[in-house]
């Protein structure tokens, strides 16, 4: 392939967009870098659950104020808020 700086720059920006949008959020909200699950499929299963939870928090129907980390902690302690996130209310 012929070198194309514009195409290469676009690919790099897209990669870092994913890094900033997903991986950084997972690390901040769930301390993902400290995860030590290593048996069988535990790491993959936990990563799937964390991404699902992150998406639920981003699509919060109540538009509650606060960071994703704060909303995760509230959902952890409030049955009512957790029901709202899951669409049960």
| Cα gap 6→67, rounded to integer Å | 35
Please report the pLDDT score of residue 66 as a whole number: 83
Please report the pLDDT score of residue 65 as a whole number: 81
| pTM to 2 decimal places | 0.69
Q: How many helices (H) and strands (E) does the chain have?
A: 5, 0
Average pLDDT along the chain, 89 residues, taken 10 residues at a time: 83 82 82 80 88 88 82 91 88
Please report the pLDDT score of residue 77 as a whole number: 93
For residues 25 and 57, the answer to whether their CB atoms sit within 8 Å is no
Please report the pLDDT score of residue 1 as a whole number: 60
> Which of 53, 25, 50 shows the shortest CA–CA distance to 37?
50
Please report the pLDDT score of residue 80 as a whole number: 92
Calculate the CA 31 to chain-centre distance.
11
| Cα gap 40→38, rounded to integer Å | 7
């Amino acid at each position: 392939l012929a070198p194309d700086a514009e195409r290469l720059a676009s690919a790099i920006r897209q990669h870092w967009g994913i890094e900033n949008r997903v991986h950084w959020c997972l690390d901040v909200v769930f301390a993902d870098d400290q995860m030590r699950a290593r048996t069988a499929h535990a790491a993959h299963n936990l990563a799937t659950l964390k991404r699902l939870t992150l998406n639920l928090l981003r699509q919060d129907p109540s538009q509650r104020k606060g960071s994703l980390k704060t909303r995760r902690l509230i959902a952890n302690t409030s049955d009512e808020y957790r029901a709202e996130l899951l669409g049960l209310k």
